Structure 1
Amino acid sequence: MDNPKRPAILRHMTHDSDILIVGGGLSGPILALALAQTGHSVTVIDALGEKVRKNAGFDGRSYAVALTSQRLLDGIGLWDSIADHSQPMLEIKVSDGRAGEGPSPFFMHFNHAEIEEGPMGYMVQDRHIRRTLLDAMAATKNITHLAGETVTAQDIAPGSATATLASGKTLTGKVLIGADGRGSGTATRAGIKRTGWGYGQTALVCAIAHEKPHNGIAHQFFMPPGPLAILPLPGNVSSIVWSETDDNAQRFNALPDADYLTMLRPRFGDFLGDISLAGHRYTYPLSLSLAQNLISDRLALIGDAAHGVHPIAGQGLNAGMRDIAALAEVITDATRRGEDIGSLAVLKRYEEWRRFDNTALAMATDGFNRLFSNDNSLVRGLRDIGMGVVNALPGLRRSFIREAAGLTGDLPRLMQGQRL
């Protein structure tokens, strides 16, 4: 019997899939798996070929997966395949200083033992997550993964979203999801504008092997040109995200490996003993990029397509995970109520849920970067005192720990450890 809540055009329309997802990086496949497990059919349109994604070697790219993001991955059956390749983050140490001079005596130290839930998060290499996602999609019957395909046009009609591929094929769905990064073609084709600016900084990213164990401690060292994050990986290896001015970064990246390490050592310090490169190194420019709208008719944006922020707090991926958990919950609940999942009324629930958090994160990371990436002596003194105050107050310190673990705010069910 037809559901009277659904428009007649939807009750009799045939779609290739319930949901079309543009983007095969991390956000798109994770959302696809979450939705497929609640009975939806999903097509993931991935511009890269499957061999390119699956055969990636150790290139230093890694992610800080917050505790609540780990719960999401566990809730959709992925974490068991990732866990053995992960490194729990047990402590975070934040300090301020200049290269070669060591940190200021004022700092912040966050220990996971101050909360009951467990480690604040986990460090995982990009390659392990991607392989797990590809294997999981291949094993899920109601996911179609189109690798090496790009979208050249999209069209929204009553009851349907259509994507036209470069191969000439057209696909229809009830809703189109843009998970195609900061330069999202999905958003551009929908007429969604972006707000943002560059920071005049570039991140140098690589993995570093070191003599001494890191003991699961992540370090964030703020210097005038930009912050240096040292993030623990399994074994005596750490991932670094080293932010420098554009000119410095270009100069450092052009150096041979030995000279590159010579520039890094006074910034890295000797607390982990001698260091060496492990894998490749690469760079990417740092900027803020916010979509002015997260939705349009039969269309929603997630991850970097919705918000690209400074990596200063390592929360970009985790914000995307919240998008995924929220959108999967909104769509699943709407389906169970017999609603049209592509309608503006349904998608607005997602936008209202995520807009404030995404904007707040963007402004916070922007503000922290501006506060710490300068060498003004007055500002330096005030921020060092501020860090000392935070570190001395257990209640305030605990709130920062819970924020780092992703435990604050209106959490979707998957991030609470519940099923959809």
Structure 2
Amino acid sequence: MAERIETEVLIAGGGMVGLTLATALAEAGVAVVAVDRLDPAAMREDAFDGRASAIARGSQQALAVTGLWRDMAATASPILDIRISDGAPFGGATAVARRGGASALHLHFSHSDVASQAGVASQAGVASQAGVGRKAGAGSGGREAPPLGHIVENTAIRRACLARAAELDRLDLRAPAELGRVDRGPNGVTARLGDGTEVAARLLVAADGRGSAQRRAAGIRITEVGYSQTGIVATVAHERPHHGVAHEHFLPAGPFALLPMNDAEDETGRSVHRSSLVWTERRDLAPAMLALDRARFAAEMQRRFGDSLGRLSLWSARTWSYPLSLLHAERMIDQRLALVGDAAHGIHPVAGQGLNLGLRDVAALAESIVDARRLGLDIGSPQVLERYQRWRRFDTLALIAATDSLNRLFSNDLPPVRLLRDLGLAAVNRMPPLKRFFMRHAMGLVGELPRLLKGEAL
């Protein structure tokens, strides 16, 4: 006879967002079954995904509380500063070319600036316990000033999620496995896996990516806008240390970013400085760039970035590329169904907030479920799901609008627009209160925060 499993939450998708939600719920005592069609062994391989993700401070606190940060911390590189500059067109003035193709007007965020704000001491304490505190610079009063965020390779995040999942008795990860027929009714969810196993749950969560089968089955419409851009991703080696600085140059084709990663040893045992490359290129030009040999590819990187980090070269054995687009689901819930992560929204990587947006979904949905369960309520009821959707609606729409506007504003080289945005960067750079406001937004510390994002257990 086929196996039958009674659980509370069934999660379609065992990626970074799906397993983080599964971990958070299981840690709080909620029974969870997570199903993914991919083999976990493949997800642990470096070749599976060449991207690295920016983990905002709020997201890091949530990962620490759920025990996931423990296995990521050693590979996480702190972001101590962010330098944003408006790139110049190639062949521009010699003085501009000497600055690495960037405008003299720029925006600089520093983690030590946030340390002077009220309330940072308690946040620093949480981060210090997680092993991520750094001494602030002048003006911080000597307090521990946690980083603005961290850069973590996606492979390291997946490995940490899979390791934590194996430790939790309330979490049953079925992978590789196919999620077949799913029936959602007023009283619950029943699903059948490819091997005949039947799963009965109170709630189904779709964490199955942009092409979500569960979203389509629910008839939830999406708005999708293509950017005619391709994201090119690789790991880059450079001669000079990055000192924890994340660089983002805005070029006519789109943003070109080098994000700080930990040093690593090459085959000779020599320590090499590394950064993660996120290069936005016109979709019609990207194939030609990807076809270049390593030396010519490195030359194109150098041409766009300049020489502030010395000579650039490819560290990773290959590059990856992804079409860039905006995606927004018209709603995040349906009968006995909640969407999280890329199943609900997809944004441009211009601000490095894609995974953080999904982790904020996780924190809000987990808290809604756990609070309802403790009150003896039905965790899949319309009231519980409406709370989740209300909680996430404004933040999601605001970030979609912000990233879309930034990409459109900076991905051109019209002289009047360029002058206005350069002056805007310089103006914000000279206004410390406004800079701190933007930094706290980027760190995920603004708004009605779920407990996990504040570093508190569910």
Fold match, TM over 0.5?
A: yes
Output aligned runs, 1:4-23, within 5 Å.
16-23=6-13
Is contact 1:150-1:166 (8 Å) kept? yes
Q: In the alignment, is the contact (CA less than 8 A) between 1:21 and 1:42 conserved in 2?
A: yes
Deviation at 1:398? 1.0
Residues 162-181 of structure 1 correspond to what in structure 2 (within 5 A)?
Answer: 162-181=190-209
The counterpart of 2:282, out of the listed 222, 232, 245, is 245
- Alignment pair present for 1:349 and 2:387: yes
Written as runs of structure 1 = structure 2, the 5 A alignment for 1:228-267 is: 228-235=256-263, 236-267=273-304
1:331-410, aligned counterparts within 5 Å?
331-410=369-448
In structure 1, how many angstroms separate the alpha carbons of the residues matched to 2:53 and 2:411? 23
Task: Summarize deviations over 1:177-230 as a string: whole Å, max 9, x none.
Answer: 000111111100111110121000000000101111000000110011110111
Query: TM-score with structure 1 length normalisation?
Result: 0.94
In 2, Cα distance between equivalents of 1:385 and 1:57: 42
Aligned to 1:201, the other structure's residue is in SS state strand
Give the structure 1 partner of residue 108 of structure 2. 109
Aligned ranges for residues 57-76 of structure 1 at < 5 Å? 57=47, 60-76=50-66
More deviation, 312-321/165-174: 165-174
Partner of 1:84: 74
Give the alignment's Cα RMSD to 1 decimal: 1.4
Cα distance in 2 for residues equivalent to 1:252 and 1:409: 41
- Alignment-derived partner of residue 17 in structure 2: 27
Cα offsets for 1:288-332 (capped at 9, x unmatched): 001111000110000111110000000011111110000000000
Distance 1:246 1:416 in 2: 39
Aligned partners of 2:212 and 2:48: how far apart in 1?
27
Q: TM-score, normalised by structure 2?
A: 0.87
Partner of residue 325 from structure 2, selected from 284, 287, 290: 287
1:153 to 176, 181, 193: 181
Q: Distance in 2 between matches of 1:319 and 1:244?
A: 24
**Which of residues 38, 42, 45 in structure 2 aligns to 1:55?**
45
Is the contact between residue 99 and residue 267 of structure 1 (CA under 8 Å) also seen in structure 2?
no
| 2:200 is equivalent to residue 200 of structure 1 | no
Tell me, which stretches of 5 or more residues in structure 2 are unaligned?
A: 91-96, 121-145, 264-272
CA distance change for structure 1 residues 99 and 382 in 2, over 3 Å: closer, same or farther?
Answer: closer
Give the alignment partner of residue 335 of structure 2, picking from 290, 297, 304: 297
What is the alpha-carbon distance in structure 2 between the residues aligned to residue 312 and residue 195 of structure 1? 19
Cα shift at 1:81: 1.7
Structure 1 gap ranges (5+): 1-13
AA of the residue aligned to 1:258: A
Q: After alignment, is 96-105 or 185-194 more displaced?
A: 96-105
Does residue 311 (structure 1) correspond to residue 349 (structure 2)? The answer is yes
- Residue 138 of structure 1 is matched in structure 2 by 166
Tell me, what secondary structure is at the counterpart of 1:259? helix
Contact 2:24–2:366 (CA<8 Å) still a contact in 1?
A: yes
Does the CA contact (< 8 Å) of 1:59 and 1:207 recur in 2? no
Give the Cα separation in 2 of the matches to 1:68 and 1:157.
Answer: 35
Shift of 1:57: 4.8
CA distance in 2, matches of 1:15, 1:291: 30
Contact 1:60 1:278 in 2 (8 A): no
Which range moved further: 326-335 or 401-410? 401-410
Summarize deviations over 1:100-126 as a string: whole Å, max 9, x none: 532111110000001124211011111
Identity among equivalent positions (%) equals: 46
| Structure 1 residue 48 displacement after superposition | 0.5
Query: Aligned-pair distance for 1:152?
Result: 3.1
How far apart are 1:84 and its partner, in Å? 1.1
Which amino acid is 1:218 matched to?
A
Residue 223, structure 1, aligned to residue 251, structure 2: yes
Q: Which of 357, 362, 368 is matched with 1:324 structurally?
A: 362
| Kept in 2: contact 1:60–1:239 (CA 8 A) | no
Cα deviation 1:10-46 (Å, max 9, x = unaligned): xxxx962100001111001000010001111101101
